[in-house]
Structure 1
Amino acid sequence: MQLTGIGVAGCGRMGGPMLAALRDAGFDAFGFDVRPVSDFGALAPVMPALDDFRKGLHILITVVRDIAQTDDVLFGAQNLIETAPNLQTVIVCSTLSPKYVRALSERVPSHITLLDAPMSGAAIAAEEARLSFMLGGDTEALRQHQPLFDAMGAHFHHMGDFGAGMQAKVLNNLLAASNTAMTRLVLDWADQAGIDETALLNLIHTSSGQNWLASGFNTIEFARDGWEEDNTIGILTKDVASALDAAPDGADTTLPETVRQAIFALKPRG
Protein backbone atom coordinates (compact mmCIF):
# COMPACT_ATOMS: atom_id res chain seq x y z
CA MET A 1 0.00 0.00 0.00
CA GLN A 2 1.33 3.43 -0.95
CA LEU A 3 1.07 5.98 1.85
CA THR A 4 0.21 9.07 -0.19
CA GLY A 5 -2.47 11.72 -0.09
CA ILE A 6 -2.38 12.02 3.70
CA GLY A 7 -4.72 14.68 5.03
CA VAL A 8 -4.83 15.90 8.63
CA ALA A 9 -8.19 17.40 9.61
CA GLY A 10 -7.80 19.65 12.65
CA CYS A 11 -4.39 21.35 12.71
CA GLY A 12 -4.44 22.85 16.17
CA ARG A 13 -2.29 22.19 19.23
CA MET A 14 -1.83 18.50 18.37
CA GLY A 15 -2.76 18.19 14.69
CA GLY A 16 -0.42 20.96 13.53
CA PRO A 17 2.75 19.37 14.94
CA MET A 18 1.57 15.95 13.70
CA LEU A 19 1.24 17.35 10.18
CA ALA A 20 4.68 18.93 10.45
CA ALA A 21 6.18 15.62 11.64
CA LEU A 22 4.68 13.74 8.69
CA ARG A 23 6.11 16.24 6.25
CA ASP A 24 9.49 16.20 7.99
CA ALA A 25 9.49 12.42 7.47
CA GLY A 26 8.95 12.92 3.73
CA PHE A 27 5.25 12.10 3.47
CA ASP A 28 2.86 13.75 1.03
CA ALA A 29 0.80 15.28 3.83
CA PHE A 30 -1.45 18.33 3.89
CA GLY A 31 -3.93 19.83 6.32
CA PHE A 32 -7.40 21.27 6.70
CA ASP A 33 -8.91 23.40 9.43
CA VAL A 34 -12.01 25.56 9.68
CA ARG A 35 -9.89 28.48 10.89
CA PRO A 36 -8.26 30.84 8.36
CA VAL A 37 -5.13 29.48 6.70
CA SER A 38 -3.32 32.66 7.77
CA ASP A 39 -3.47 31.37 11.38
CA PHE A 40 -1.07 28.51 10.60
CA GLY A 41 2.23 30.19 9.81
CA ALA A 42 4.73 27.81 8.22
CA LEU A 43 2.02 25.22 7.59
CA ALA A 44 -0.17 27.60 5.56
CA PRO A 45 1.31 26.55 2.17
CA VAL A 46 0.27 22.91 2.77
CA MET A 47 -3.29 23.69 3.85
CA PRO A 48 -5.35 23.73 0.64
CA ALA A 49 -8.97 24.81 0.27
CA LEU A 50 -11.53 22.13 1.13
CA ASP A 51 -12.21 21.12 -2.49
CA ASP A 52 -8.52 20.52 -3.14
CA PHE A 53 -8.14 18.75 0.21
CA ARG A 54 -10.92 16.36 -0.81
CA LYS A 55 -9.48 15.65 -4.26
CA GLY A 56 -6.04 14.69 -3.01
CA LEU A 57 -7.20 12.70 0.00
CA HIS A 58 -6.38 8.99 0.32
CA ILE A 59 -5.72 8.69 4.06
CA LEU A 60 -7.60 10.93 6.49
CA ILE A 61 -6.25 11.56 10.00
CA THR A 62 -8.81 13.33 12.19
CA VAL A 63 -7.48 15.34 15.13
CA VAL A 64 -10.49 17.56 15.80
CA ARG A 65 -11.78 18.38 19.27
CA ASP A 66 -14.92 16.31 19.83
CA ILE A 67 -17.73 14.18 18.43
CA ALA A 68 -19.58 17.11 16.86
CA GLN A 69 -16.48 18.20 14.95
CA THR A 70 -15.69 14.62 13.95
CA ASP A 71 -19.23 14.23 12.60
CA ASP A 72 -18.75 17.45 10.63
CA VAL A 73 -15.52 16.16 9.09
CA LEU A 74 -16.90 12.75 8.19
CA PHE A 75 -20.60 13.27 7.47
CA GLY A 76 -21.61 16.90 7.97
CA ALA A 77 -20.12 20.23 6.95
CA GLN A 78 -17.08 18.68 5.24
CA ASN A 79 -18.72 15.28 4.55
CA LEU A 80 -15.45 13.69 3.47
CA ILE A 81 -16.88 10.16 3.57
CA GLU A 82 -19.13 10.98 0.62
CA THR A 83 -17.20 13.75 -1.13
CA ALA A 84 -13.55 12.58 -1.08
CA PRO A 85 -13.51 10.33 -4.16
CA ASN A 86 -10.22 8.54 -3.42
CA LEU A 87 -10.57 8.09 0.34
CA GLN A 88 -9.20 4.71 1.45
CA THR A 89 -8.51 5.00 5.20
CA VAL A 90 -9.82 6.99 8.13
CA ILE A 91 -7.60 7.18 11.21
CA VAL A 92 -9.38 8.62 14.26
CA CYS A 93 -6.85 10.34 16.55
CA SER A 94 -9.22 12.55 18.54
CA THR A 95 -10.20 11.36 22.01
CA LEU A 96 -13.89 10.44 21.77
CA SER A 97 -16.42 8.14 23.37
CA PRO A 98 -15.54 4.53 22.48
CA LYS A 99 -19.25 3.92 21.84
CA TYR A 100 -19.29 6.62 19.17
CA VAL A 101 -16.09 5.29 17.59
CA ARG A 102 -17.28 1.70 17.39
CA ALA A 103 -20.55 2.86 15.82
CA LEU A 104 -18.57 4.39 12.93
CA SER A 105 -18.21 0.86 11.55
CA GLU A 106 -21.91 0.95 10.68
CA ARG A 107 -21.79 4.46 9.21
CA VAL A 108 -18.67 4.31 7.05
CA PRO A 109 -18.74 2.26 3.82
CA SER A 110 -16.90 -1.05 4.05
CA HIS A 111 -14.38 -0.15 1.33
CA ILE A 112 -12.89 2.48 3.68
CA THR A 113 -10.52 1.08 6.33
CA LEU A 114 -11.17 2.35 9.85
CA LEU A 115 -8.40 2.63 12.44
CA ASP A 116 -8.49 4.34 15.81
CA ALA A 117 -5.22 5.80 17.02
CA PRO A 118 -5.74 8.26 19.89
CA MET A 119 -2.48 9.59 21.25
CA SER A 120 -1.02 10.77 24.53
CA GLY A 121 1.82 13.07 25.46
CA ALA A 122 0.45 16.64 25.16
CA ALA A 123 1.64 19.23 22.66
CA ILE A 124 5.28 18.96 23.71
CA ALA A 125 5.37 15.29 22.62
CA ALA A 126 3.60 16.12 19.35
CA GLU A 127 6.18 18.83 18.63
CA GLU A 128 9.02 16.39 19.36
CA ALA A 129 7.39 13.52 17.39
CA ARG A 130 7.35 11.22 20.43
CA LEU A 131 3.64 10.67 20.98
CA SER A 132 2.27 7.44 22.44
CA PHE A 133 -0.41 5.88 20.23
CA MET A 134 -3.11 3.48 21.40
CA LEU A 135 -4.08 1.56 18.28
CA GLY A 136 -7.26 -0.30 17.37
CA GLY A 137 -8.05 -2.09 14.14
CA ASP A 138 -7.06 -4.87 11.79
CA THR A 139 -3.48 -6.00 12.46
CA GLU A 140 -2.46 -5.97 8.79
CA ALA A 141 -3.99 -2.54 8.20
CA LEU A 142 -2.14 -1.17 11.21
CA ARG A 143 1.10 -2.70 9.94
CA GLN A 144 0.62 -1.01 6.57
CA HIS A 145 0.07 2.37 8.20
CA GLN A 146 2.77 2.01 10.86
CA PRO A 147 5.26 4.29 9.00
CA LEU A 148 2.83 7.16 9.60
CA PHE A 149 2.74 6.47 13.33
CA ASP A 150 6.54 6.09 13.35
CA ALA A 151 6.82 9.61 11.92
CA MET A 152 4.69 11.12 14.68
CA GLY A 153 5.36 8.98 17.72
CA ALA A 154 7.73 6.87 19.80
CA HIS A 155 5.46 4.38 21.58
CA PHE A 156 2.80 2.17 19.98
CA HIS A 157 0.31 -0.10 21.71
CA HIS A 158 -2.04 -2.32 19.66
CA MET A 159 -5.00 -2.73 22.00
CA GLY A 160 -7.31 -4.87 19.84
CA ASP A 161 -10.03 -4.43 17.24
CA PHE A 162 -11.31 -1.07 16.00
CA GLY A 163 -12.46 0.93 19.04
CA ALA A 164 -10.14 -0.78 21.51
CA GLY A 165 -7.54 1.95 21.14
CA MET A 166 -10.13 4.55 22.10
CA GLN A 167 -11.31 2.48 25.05
CA ALA A 168 -7.74 2.28 26.31
CA LYS A 169 -7.22 6.01 25.73
CA VAL A 170 -10.21 7.16 27.77
CA LEU A 171 -9.13 4.89 30.63
CA ASN A 172 -5.61 6.34 30.42
CA ASN A 173 -7.03 9.87 30.39
CA LEU A 174 -9.20 9.10 33.38
CA LEU A 175 -5.96 8.46 35.27
CA ALA A 176 -4.42 11.60 33.78
CA ALA A 177 -7.40 13.65 34.95
CA SER A 178 -7.14 12.12 38.43
CA ASN A 179 -3.43 12.96 38.59
CA THR A 180 -4.12 16.48 37.37
CA ALA A 181 -6.80 17.14 39.97
CA MET A 182 -4.82 15.71 42.88
CA THR A 183 -1.45 17.21 41.89
CA ARG A 184 -2.97 20.68 41.69
CA LEU A 185 -4.69 20.22 45.06
CA VAL A 186 -1.43 19.02 46.65
CA LEU A 187 0.47 22.02 45.27
CA ASP A 188 -2.17 24.41 46.59
CA TRP A 189 -1.99 22.82 50.02
CA ALA A 190 1.82 22.98 49.90
CA ASP A 191 1.60 26.72 49.22
CA GLN A 192 -0.46 27.13 52.37
CA ALA A 193 2.12 25.11 54.31
CA GLY A 194 5.02 27.23 53.02
CA ILE A 195 6.64 24.37 51.05
CA ASP A 196 8.53 25.41 47.92
CA GLU A 197 6.89 24.21 44.71
CA THR A 198 10.11 23.12 42.99
CA ALA A 199 11.33 21.23 46.04
CA LEU A 200 8.02 19.38 46.34
CA LEU A 201 7.87 18.52 42.62
CA ASN A 202 11.41 17.14 42.82
CA LEU A 203 10.36 15.02 45.79
CA ILE A 204 7.23 13.72 44.04
CA HIS A 205 9.25 12.78 40.95
CA THR A 206 11.46 10.42 42.97
CA SER A 207 8.92 9.03 45.42
CA SER A 208 5.62 7.19 45.69
CA GLY A 209 3.52 10.15 44.55
CA GLN A 210 5.21 10.23 41.13
CA ASN A 211 2.88 10.92 38.22
CA TRP A 212 3.05 12.24 34.67
CA LEU A 213 1.71 15.73 35.40
CA ALA A 214 3.94 16.37 38.41
CA SER A 215 7.05 15.04 36.66
CA GLY A 216 6.43 17.23 33.62
CA PHE A 217 4.87 20.18 35.42
CA ASN A 218 7.23 22.77 33.96
CA THR A 219 7.03 21.50 30.36
CA ILE A 220 3.38 20.42 29.99
CA GLU A 221 1.72 23.48 28.49
CA PHE A 222 -1.56 23.27 30.43
CA ALA A 223 -0.18 22.29 33.85
CA ARG A 224 -0.93 25.71 35.42
CA ASP A 225 -4.16 26.48 33.56
CA GLY A 226 -7.59 26.84 35.07
CA TRP A 227 -10.67 25.31 33.48
CA GLU A 228 -11.91 26.93 30.31
CA GLU A 229 -14.21 25.32 27.80
CA ASP A 230 -11.77 25.63 24.92
CA ASN A 231 -8.45 24.78 26.61
CA THR A 232 -6.79 21.46 27.47
CA ILE A 233 -8.14 21.45 31.02
CA GLY A 234 -11.60 21.76 29.46
CA ILE A 235 -10.78 18.83 27.17
CA LEU A 236 -9.93 16.73 30.24
CA THR A 237 -13.51 17.06 31.47
CA LYS A 238 -14.69 15.92 28.03
CA ASP A 239 -12.36 12.94 28.23
CA VAL A 240 -13.69 11.94 31.65
CA ALA A 241 -17.20 12.15 30.18
CA SER A 242 -16.08 9.84 27.35
CA ALA A 243 -14.78 7.34 29.90
CA LEU A 244 -18.04 7.52 31.83
CA ASP A 245 -20.00 6.95 28.61
CA ALA A 246 -18.14 3.66 28.18
CA ALA A 247 -18.29 2.58 31.85
CA PRO A 248 -19.31 -1.04 32.44
CA ASP A 249 -22.95 -1.65 33.30
CA GLY A 250 -23.48 -1.16 37.02
CA ALA A 251 -20.06 0.42 37.58
CA ASP A 252 -19.61 2.78 40.53
CA THR A 253 -18.87 6.11 38.86
CA THR A 254 -18.64 8.18 42.04
CA LEU A 255 -14.85 8.67 41.90
CA PRO A 256 -14.69 9.64 38.18
CA GLU A 257 -17.58 12.08 38.68
CA THR A 258 -15.74 13.62 41.65
CA VAL A 259 -12.57 13.97 39.56
CA ARG A 260 -14.57 15.64 36.79
CA GLN A 261 -15.99 18.18 39.20
CA ALA A 262 -12.52 18.85 40.63
CA ILE A 263 -11.20 19.57 37.13
CA PHE A 264 -14.13 21.90 36.50
CA ALA A 265 -13.17 23.84 39.63
CA LEU A 266 -9.48 24.39 38.75
CA LYS A 267 -8.28 27.99 38.76
CA PRO A 268 -5.07 29.23 37.07
CA ARG A 269 -1.93 28.61 39.11
CA GLY A 270 0.75 31.27 39.07
Structure 2
Amino acid sequence: MIGLAGCGRMGLPMLAALRDGGAHVKGFDVVDKGLSDTTTNIMAFAPEVETLFSVVRDEGETNALLFDTQNLMGTAPKLRRVFICSTLSPRYILGLRNRVPSHITLIDAPMSGAVIAAENRTLSFMLGGTQSDIDDAKPLLALMGQHFHHMGAYGAGMQAKVLNNLLAASHTAMTRLVLDWADEAGLDTQHLLNLIETSSGQNWLTSGFDTIEFAKHGYAPDNSIGILVKDVSAALDAAPDGADTSLPRQVQATIRSLKPRS
Protein backbone atom coordinates (compact mmCIF):
# COMPACT_ATOMS: atom_id res chain seq x y z
CA MET A 1 0.00 0.00 0.00
CA ILE A 2 1.05 3.58 -0.66
CA GLY A 3 0.61 5.96 2.24
CA LEU A 4 0.52 9.75 2.11
CA ALA A 5 1.01 11.58 5.39
CA GLY A 6 0.03 15.23 5.63
CA CYS A 7 -3.33 15.70 3.91
CA GLY A 8 -3.32 19.47 3.80
CA ARG A 9 -3.49 21.97 0.95
CA MET A 10 -0.90 20.09 -1.11
CA GLY A 11 -1.32 16.59 0.27
CA LEU A 12 -5.04 16.17 -0.42
CA PRO A 13 -4.84 16.83 -4.17
CA MET A 14 -1.73 14.63 -4.35
CA LEU A 15 -3.67 11.86 -2.60
CA ALA A 16 -6.52 12.29 -5.09
CA ALA A 17 -4.11 12.11 -8.02
CA LEU A 18 -2.60 8.85 -6.77
CA ARG A 19 -6.04 7.38 -6.12
CA ASP A 20 -7.41 8.46 -9.50
CA GLY A 21 -4.31 7.03 -11.16
CA GLY A 22 -5.15 3.58 -9.82
CA ALA A 23 -2.75 3.43 -6.88
CA HIS A 24 -3.78 1.60 -3.72
CA VAL A 25 -3.34 4.59 -1.42
CA LYS A 26 -4.44 5.79 2.00
CA GLY A 27 -3.94 9.16 3.65
CA PHE A 28 -2.98 10.00 7.22
CA ASP A 29 -3.39 13.31 9.01
CA VAL A 30 -3.65 14.35 12.64
CA VAL A 31 -6.77 16.35 11.68
CA ASP A 32 -9.89 14.44 10.61
CA LYS A 33 -10.56 15.23 6.95
CA GLY A 34 -13.90 13.40 6.90
CA LEU A 35 -12.86 11.30 3.90
CA SER A 36 -13.08 7.55 3.51
CA ASP A 37 -9.49 7.21 2.28
CA THR A 38 -7.88 9.20 5.11
CA THR A 39 -7.48 8.40 8.78
CA THR A 40 -6.23 9.96 12.01
CA ASN A 41 -5.48 6.51 13.46
CA ILE A 42 -1.85 5.66 12.79
CA MET A 43 -2.50 1.97 13.42
CA ALA A 44 -5.11 1.97 10.65
CA PHE A 45 -2.42 3.37 8.36
CA ALA A 46 1.06 2.17 9.28
CA PRO A 47 0.95 -1.66 9.23
CA GLU A 48 0.32 -1.96 5.47
CA VAL A 49 2.36 0.98 4.19
CA GLU A 50 5.17 -0.01 1.84
CA THR A 51 5.79 3.36 0.14
CA LEU A 52 5.34 6.59 2.06
CA PHE A 53 4.93 10.14 0.74
CA SER A 54 5.63 12.57 3.58
CA VAL A 55 3.96 15.94 2.94
CA VAL A 56 3.89 17.20 6.53
CA ARG A 57 4.69 20.81 7.33
CA ASP A 58 8.15 20.92 8.91
CA GLU A 59 10.99 19.09 10.65
CA GLY A 60 9.06 18.74 13.90
CA GLU A 61 6.15 17.04 12.15
CA THR A 62 8.58 14.88 10.16
CA ASN A 63 10.25 13.74 13.38
CA ALA A 64 6.84 12.99 14.89
CA LEU A 65 5.79 11.00 11.82
CA LEU A 66 8.93 8.94 11.44
CA PHE A 67 10.34 8.57 14.94
CA ASP A 68 8.23 10.01 17.74
CA THR A 69 4.43 10.32 18.03
CA GLN A 70 3.45 8.22 15.01
CA ASN A 71 6.85 6.44 14.84
CA LEU A 72 6.52 4.84 11.42
CA MET A 73 10.02 3.44 11.86
CA GLY A 74 8.52 1.26 14.58
CA THR A 75 4.90 0.87 13.45
CA ALA A 76 5.28 0.22 9.70
CA PRO A 77 7.06 -3.14 9.30
CA LYS A 78 6.46 -3.28 5.53
CA LEU A 79 7.88 0.18 4.83
CA ARG A 80 10.57 0.04 2.14
CA ARG A 81 10.55 3.49 0.48
CA VAL A 82 10.04 7.05 1.74
CA PHE A 83 9.60 10.16 -0.38
CA ILE A 84 10.27 13.36 1.57
CA CYS A 85 8.09 15.92 -0.23
CA SER A 86 8.08 18.64 2.43
CA THR A 87 10.47 21.57 2.03
CA LEU A 88 13.02 21.10 4.81
CA SER A 89 16.61 22.02 5.53
CA PRO A 90 19.02 20.04 3.33
CA ARG A 91 21.18 19.48 6.41
CA TYR A 92 18.23 17.85 8.15
CA ILE A 93 17.47 15.71 5.09
CA LEU A 94 21.02 14.39 4.93
CA GLY A 95 20.86 13.60 8.64
CA LEU A 96 17.81 11.40 8.11
CA ARG A 97 19.91 8.85 6.27
CA ASN A 98 21.66 7.91 9.53
CA ARG A 99 18.36 7.70 11.41
CA VAL A 100 16.32 5.64 8.94
CA PRO A 101 17.22 1.93 8.61
CA SER A 102 19.36 1.19 5.56
CA HIS A 103 16.84 -1.23 4.03
CA ILE A 104 14.44 1.71 3.49
CA THR A 105 15.08 3.75 0.34
CA LEU A 106 15.04 7.48 0.95
CA ILE A 107 14.27 9.90 -1.89
CA ASP A 108 14.01 13.62 -1.39
CA ALA A 109 11.21 14.74 -3.69
CA PRO A 110 10.08 18.27 -2.82
CA MET A 111 7.65 19.74 -5.31
CA SER A 112 6.81 23.14 -6.72
CA GLY A 113 3.78 24.74 -8.32
CA ALA A 114 1.46 25.51 -5.37
CA VAL A 115 -2.02 24.08 -4.90
CA ILE A 116 -3.11 24.87 -8.46
CA ALA A 117 -0.41 22.57 -9.87
CA ALA A 118 -1.26 19.84 -7.35
CA GLU A 119 -4.90 20.02 -8.40
CA ASN A 120 -3.99 20.00 -12.10
CA ARG A 121 -1.41 17.24 -11.59
CA THR A 122 1.33 19.38 -13.09
CA LEU A 123 3.73 19.58 -10.15
CA SER A 124 7.47 19.93 -10.65
CA PHE A 125 9.53 17.52 -8.56
CA MET A 126 13.15 18.10 -7.57
CA LEU A 127 14.64 14.69 -6.89
CA GLY A 128 17.62 13.34 -5.00
CA GLY A 129 18.61 9.67 -5.11
CA THR A 130 20.26 7.03 -7.24
CA GLN A 131 19.32 6.81 -10.90
CA SER A 132 17.65 3.44 -10.42
CA ASP A 133 15.61 4.70 -7.46
CA ILE A 134 14.47 7.73 -9.46
CA ASP A 135 13.59 5.59 -12.50
CA ASP A 136 11.49 3.32 -10.26
CA ALA A 137 9.77 6.34 -8.72
CA LYS A 138 8.77 8.17 -11.88
CA PRO A 139 5.62 6.16 -12.72
CA LEU A 140 4.13 7.14 -9.34
CA LEU A 141 5.36 10.72 -9.53
CA ALA A 142 3.88 11.03 -13.03
CA LEU A 143 0.41 10.62 -11.53
CA MET A 144 0.95 13.90 -9.69
CA GLY A 145 3.32 15.92 -11.82
CA GLN A 146 4.73 16.74 -15.23
CA HIS A 147 8.28 17.88 -14.57
CA PHE A 148 10.97 15.74 -12.95
CA HIS A 149 14.42 17.14 -12.23
CA HIS A 150 16.95 14.60 -10.95
CA MET A 151 19.41 16.90 -9.24
CA GLY A 152 21.89 14.29 -8.02
CA ALA A 153 22.43 12.06 -5.01
CA TYR A 154 20.10 11.94 -2.01
CA GLY A 155 19.80 15.47 -0.59
CA ALA A 156 20.44 17.29 -3.87
CA GLY A 157 16.73 17.63 -4.63
CA MET A 158 16.13 19.43 -1.34
CA GLN A 159 19.12 21.69 -1.86
CA ALA A 160 17.70 22.70 -5.24
CA LYS A 161 14.25 23.21 -3.74
CA VAL A 162 15.31 25.61 -1.01
CA LEU A 163 17.26 27.67 -3.57
CA ASN A 164 14.22 27.72 -5.86
CA ASN A 165 12.01 28.81 -2.97
CA LEU A 166 14.46 31.50 -1.98
CA LEU A 167 13.85 33.03 -5.41
CA ALA A 168 10.10 32.50 -5.03
CA ALA A 169 10.23 34.30 -1.69
CA SER A 170 12.08 37.24 -3.20
CA HIS A 171 9.55 37.40 -6.06
CA THR A 172 6.72 37.36 -3.54
CA ALA A 173 8.21 40.10 -1.38
CA MET A 174 9.04 42.43 -4.27
CA THR A 175 5.85 41.76 -6.25
CA ARG A 176 3.68 42.64 -3.28
CA LEU A 177 5.70 45.81 -2.63
CA VAL A 178 5.38 46.82 -6.30
CA LEU A 179 1.61 46.26 -6.25
CA ASP A 180 1.23 48.29 -3.06
CA TRP A 181 3.19 51.14 -4.60
CA ALA A 182 1.10 50.86 -7.77
CA ASP A 183 -2.06 51.21 -5.68
CA GLU A 184 -0.69 54.41 -4.17
CA ALA A 185 0.08 55.71 -7.66
CA GLY A 186 -3.46 54.93 -8.88
CA LEU A 187 -2.43 52.23 -11.39
CA ASP A 188 -4.85 49.45 -12.31
CA THR A 189 -3.52 46.17 -10.89
CA GLN A 190 -4.56 43.98 -13.81
CA HIS A 191 -3.16 46.37 -16.39
CA LEU A 192 0.14 46.40 -14.53
CA LEU A 193 0.23 42.60 -14.27
CA ASN A 194 -0.44 42.37 -18.02
CA LEU A 195 2.44 44.75 -18.63
CA ILE A 196 4.82 42.81 -16.37
CA GLU A 197 3.93 39.54 -18.12
CA THR A 198 5.47 40.85 -21.36
CA SER A 199 8.29 42.80 -19.74
CA SER A 200 11.49 42.33 -17.77
CA GLY A 201 9.75 42.15 -14.38
CA GLN A 202 7.91 38.92 -15.22
CA ASN A 203 8.05 36.23 -12.52
CA TRP A 204 6.08 33.21 -11.32
CA LEU A 205 3.93 35.12 -8.85
CA THR A 206 2.93 37.86 -11.28
CA SER A 207 2.19 35.30 -14.00
CA GLY A 208 -0.08 33.30 -11.71
CA PHE A 209 -1.41 36.08 -9.51
CA ASP A 210 -5.04 35.18 -10.21
CA THR A 211 -4.58 31.43 -9.62
CA ILE A 212 -1.89 31.06 -6.93
CA GLU A 213 -3.88 30.60 -3.75
CA PHE A 214 -1.65 32.70 -1.49
CA ALA A 215 -0.93 35.57 -3.89
CA LYS A 216 -3.06 38.05 -1.92
CA HIS A 217 -2.67 36.57 1.54
CA GLY A 218 -1.09 38.22 4.54
CA TYR A 219 1.28 36.40 6.84
CA ALA A 220 -0.06 33.82 9.28
CA PRO A 221 2.04 31.07 10.87
CA ASP A 222 -0.14 28.29 9.43
CA ASN A 223 -0.80 29.56 5.90
CA SER A 224 1.23 29.41 2.69
CA ILE A 225 2.93 32.74 3.38
CA GLY A 226 4.01 31.35 6.74
CA ILE A 227 5.35 28.26 5.00
CA LEU A 228 7.36 30.48 2.67
CA VAL A 229 8.95 32.13 5.71
CA LYS A 230 9.82 28.64 6.96
CA ASP A 231 11.30 27.74 3.57
CA VAL A 232 13.65 30.74 3.68
CA SER A 233 14.83 29.47 7.08
CA ALA A 234 15.54 26.09 5.46
CA ALA A 235 17.64 27.80 2.78
CA LEU A 236 19.51 29.84 5.39
CA ASP A 237 20.31 26.70 7.35
CA ALA A 238 22.14 25.36 4.29
CA ALA A 239 23.86 28.61 3.33
CA PRO A 240 27.56 28.27 2.47
CA ASP A 241 30.01 29.09 5.23
CA GLY A 242 30.69 32.80 5.28
CA ALA A 243 27.81 33.63 2.91
CA ASP A 244 26.20 37.05 3.13
CA THR A 245 22.68 36.22 4.32
CA SER A 246 21.48 39.79 4.80
CA LEU A 247 19.32 39.87 1.65
CA PRO A 248 17.52 36.55 2.33
CA ARG A 249 16.86 37.67 5.90
CA GLN A 250 15.41 40.96 4.67
CA VAL A 251 13.20 39.06 2.20
CA GLN A 252 12.02 36.84 5.03
CA ALA A 253 11.24 39.81 7.24
CA THR A 254 9.30 41.48 4.41
CA ILE A 255 7.19 38.38 3.83
CA ARG A 256 6.50 38.06 7.55
CA SER A 257 5.13 41.64 7.52
CA LEU A 258 2.74 41.13 4.56
CA LYS A 259 -0.88 42.19 5.04
CA PRO A 260 -3.77 40.74 2.99
CA ARG A 261 -4.69 42.40 -0.31
CA SER A 262 -8.36 42.77 -1.14
1:47 to 32, 38, 43: 38
Task: Render the CA deviation track for 1:54-93: whole Å, top value 9, x for unaligned.
Answer: 1110001000000000000000100001210100001000
Residues 1:176 and 2:168 aligned together: yes
Deviation at 1:52, TM superposition (A): 2.1
Instruction: Give the Å deviation of 1:12.
Output: 0.5
Query: 1: distance between equivalents of 2:195 and 2:185?
Result: 16
Question: Aligned to 1:195, which of 187, 198, 201?
Answer: 187
AA partner of residue 46 (structure 1):
D
In 1, Cα distance between equivalents of 2:33 and 2:174: 39
Distance 1:37 1:27 in 2: 20
What aligned pairs does 1:55-134 form with structure 2 within 5 A after superposition?
55-134=47-126
1:247 aligns with 2:214: no
Is 1:153 matched with 2:145?
yes
**Residues 43 and 75 in structure 2, CA contact (< 8 A), matched pair in contact too:** no
Within the candidate set 5, 10, 23, 2:6 is matched to 10
With the length of structure 2 as denominator, give the TM-score of the two structures: 0.99
1:182: how far off? 0.2
Q: CA RMSD in A?
A: 0.7
Which AA in structure 2 matches 1:244? L
Structure with bigger helix share is: 1
Tell me, yes or no, if the aligned pair for 2:18 and 2:25 is still in contact at 8 Å.
yes
**Identity score, percent:** 63
CA distance in 2, matches of 1:111, 1:172: 31
Distance 1:216 1:36 in 2: 31
TM-score normalised to the size of structure 1? 0.96
CA distance in 1, matches of 2:24, 2:187: 51
Structure 1 residue identity aligned to 2:190: T
Paired letter, 1:24: D
- SS of 2:27's partner is strand
Distance 2:46 2:223 in 1: 29
Equivalent residue for 1:35, pick from 31, 37, 59: 31
Aligned with residue 22 of structure 1, among 13, 18, 33: 18
SS at match of 1:260: helix
Report the Cα distance in structure 1 between the residues aligned to 2:148 and 2:73, rounded to whole angstroms.
Answer: 27
Distance (whole Å) between structure 1 residues aligned to residue 171 and residue 57 of structure 2: 22
For the residues of structure 2 that align with 1:37 and 1:217, how far apart are their CA atoms?
28
- The size of the alignment, in residue pairs, is 261
* Residue matched to 1:41: none
Alpha-carbon displacement from aligned partner over 1:176-201 (angstroms, at most 9, x marks no partner): 00000000000000011111000000
2:14 alignment partner, SS class: helix
1:143 to 135, 148, 154: 135
Q: What's the CA shift for 1:229?
A: 0.4
Residue-by-residue CA offset, 1:202-257 (whole Å, 9 max, x unaligned): 00111100000001001000000000000000011100000000000000001101
Structure 1 stretches (4+) deviating beyond 3 angstroms?
none
The one-letter amino acid paired with 1:29 is V
Task: Tell me how far apart the structure 1 counterparts of residues 52 and 68 of structure 2 sit (CA, whole Å).
Answer: 15
